[in-house]
């Protein structure tokens, strides 16, 4: 019996730890009014389809710059394209006058700092969830 409980706990803890150490898409936000999102909703937001949150805060998009380690993962998961494709999408949108430009950051740390300091900011990261303060995380459903 003890063996079975130990095995169960090991598996449970192991899976939890693995989830925290595995790099994946992580969404963080500050005063967005959101606690969880579907992937489709996240894609719509990061593609510039929203200007203001329900709490009337301005939507400030924070994305990894091409130099960031997060860039490829975010481009693949959110924009379903390459880093160049992600940049092209936003350049065209801003040039058309349809949206304010996003904030491009160089690292996960910079994204966390920016979101922490700016109400309405939302960032897409591709990192271990253990690297990010739990209070900022918006769960992906």
Partner 1 sequence: MNLKIFNCFIICILCSTKLWAQLPKTEFKGFGHIEYSLDFVNPNKPDSYFILGEHDLFVQSKITKRFSYLGEFVIRYNGASATKFLPSIERTLVKYAYLNNHSVIFGKIHTPINYWNDSYHHGRVFYPVISRPIAFSHFVPLHTIGVQAQGQNIGKWNFGYDVVVGNGIASTDIFDSNSSPGFAAAIHIKPIDGMRIGVSHYFNRMDENGYGSHSGHVMPTGTAYRGPLDFYLNSLSFAYFGKKFEILSESSRNLTRTDSLGLANNFSTFLYLGYVIKEKHVPMIMVDYINISSNDLHSSPMELLKLGLGYRYEFSHLLNVKGMLEYYFQHSHSHHGSGPQQNYFAIEMQLAYGF
Q: State the residues that interact with partner 1 by CB under 8 A.
A: 44, 47, 49-52, 58, 80-82, 84-85, 87-88, 91-92, 94-98, 100-101
User: In terms of CB distance, is 20 or 55 closer to partner 1?
Assistant: 55
Sign of CA dihedral 66, 129, 56, 44: positive
Mind giving me the DSSP string for 3-15? HHHHHHHHHHHHH
The distance of closest approach from Cβ of residue 134 to partner 1 in the complex, given in angstroms and rounded to an integer, is 28
Q: Tell me, what DSSP letter sits at residue 129?
A: G
Q: Tell me, what DSSP letter sits at residue 55?
A: T
Q: Cα 46–134–51 angle (5° rounding)? A: 25
The distance of closest approach from Cβ of residue 56 to partner 1 in the complex, given in angstroms and rounded to an integer, is 9
User: In terms of CB distance, is 111 or 127 closer to partner 1?
Assistant: 111
Q: Are 27 and 124 in contact (CB under 8 A)?
A: yes
The distance of closest approach from Cβ of residue 38 to partner 1 in the complex, given in angstroms and rounded to an integer, is 14
The distance of closest approach from Cβ of residue 100 to partner 1 in the complex, given in angstroms and rounded to an integer, is 5
User: In terms of CB distance, is 115 or 132 closer to partner 1?
Assistant: 115
């Amino acid at each position: 019996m003890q063996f079975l409980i130990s095995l169960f706990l090991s598996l449970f803890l192991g899976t939890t730890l693995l989830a925290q150490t595995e790099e994946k898409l992580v969404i963080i936000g500050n005063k967005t009014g959101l606690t969880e999102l579907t992937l489709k909703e996240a894609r719509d937001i990061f593609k510039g389809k929203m200007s203001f949150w329900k709490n009337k805060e301005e939507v400030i998009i924070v994305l990894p710059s091409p130099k960031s380690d997060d860039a490829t993962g975010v481009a693949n998961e959110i924009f379903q394209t390459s880093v160049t494709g992600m940049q092209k999408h936003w350049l065209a949108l801003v040039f058309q006058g349809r949206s304010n430009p996003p904030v491009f950051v160089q690292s996960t740390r910079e994204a966390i700092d920016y979101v922490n300091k700016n109400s309405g900011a939302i960032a897409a990261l591709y990192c271990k969830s253990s690297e990010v303060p739990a209070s900022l995380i918006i769960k992906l459903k």
